[in-house]
Amino acid sequence: MKLASNQNQREQGFSLVEIMVAMVILSMSVMTIVSLQRASVRGAVNARYLTVASMLARSIMVDAYLANYKKELANSMDEEKSGEEEMAGLSMKWTWALREVPLQLPTKFAEEEEEGEEIEEGEEESASITQNPLLVPIIKSLNEVLAKAMRELSVTVSWESSYGEEEIYLVTHLIDFSYRLPIPELGGASKP
C-alpha cells in the first residue's frame, strides 16, 4: 500500500527541475526566433537600399545615354559630376565619371615580335591580322576613332546605413557613332 501512495504523489505534478528545464528551452527558442526576425528585417532594409540605389544609378546612366545621343557629351573627356538625390524616402549621394577608354587594337607586325616570345591562345588571330602591312594603317585609324568615340561611364551611389557608409558602383560604355573612319592612303598607291 505504501508503494502505491508514493506513485500517486509523483504523478500529481511537475517537479521544480522539470519546470526550469522547460523554461530554459522555451526562452532559447524565443530568443532564436527574435534574432531571426531581426536579421530578416535588417536584410529587407538593406535590400530596399540596394534596390533604390540601383534604380538611381540606372536613371543616371539613362540620362548620360540620352545626353550622348543628343551630342551633349561630344567632347567630354575626364568629366565628373556629383549630387544628392532623395528617392523613395531615402537620401543618396551619387557621382558619375566619364573617362577615356584605353582600348587599343594590335598594330605590331608578326615579324616585329621578339624571338622566343610565345603566342598565347587568342593572340594567333591578332598576329595574323597584323601580318598584312595594308591593314596596319586601317588599324591605326580605328585606334584613333575608338579613342575619340568610346568613353567609360562609371556611377557610384552611396548612402548611410547602420553599418556606416555603403555604396554600389556600376560601369558602362558610351559610343558616339557619329565618328567616321578616315580612309588612310595605302602605302604603294601612286597619286595621279
Q: In this structure, is residue 61 part of a structural domain?
A: yes
pTM of the model as a whole: 0.60
For residue 185, tell me if it sits in a domain: no
Residue 125 has pLDDT above 70, yes or no: no
Residue 122 lies in a domain: yes
> Tell me: the pLDDT tens digits for 155-166?
999 998 888 899
Answer yes or no: is 82 within a domain.
yes
Ranking 26-30, 105-109, 186-190 by mean pLDDT, the lowest is: 186-190
Is 50 exceeded by the pLDDT of residue 187? yes
pLDDT band at 7 (very low <50, low <70, confident <90, very high): low
Give the position of cell 549630387.
83
The 3-state DSSP composition of the chain as helix, strand, coil percent (nearest 5) reads: 45, 25, 35
- Give the C-alpha separation, 186 to 192, whole Å: 14
- Quote the number of domains for the chain: 1
User: What is the arithmetic mean of pLDDT over 166-173?
Assistant: 91
Question: Does residue 191 belong to any structural domain of this protein?
Answer: no
**3-state helix/strand/coil string of 64-79:** HHHHHHCCCCCCCCCE
If phi over 0 gives left and psi between -120 and 50 gives alpha, with beta otherwise, what is residue 45? alpha
pLDDT of residue 35: 92
* Domain-embedded: residue 188: no
Containing structural domain, residue 48? 2-175
| CB 129 within 8 Å of CB 62 | no
DSSP letter at 113 equals: S
pLDDT at 190 exceeding the cut of 50: no
pLDDT (tens digit per residue) in 57-88: 999 999 888 887 777 766 666 788 899 988 88
Give the Å distances, CA to CA, from 40 to 45, 53, 87, 191: 9, 20, 23, 76
DSSP symbol at 104: -
* Amino acid sitting at position 72: E
Domain presence at residue 155 = yes
Does residue 189 lie in a domain region? no
Helices (H), 77-192: 123-129, 135-149
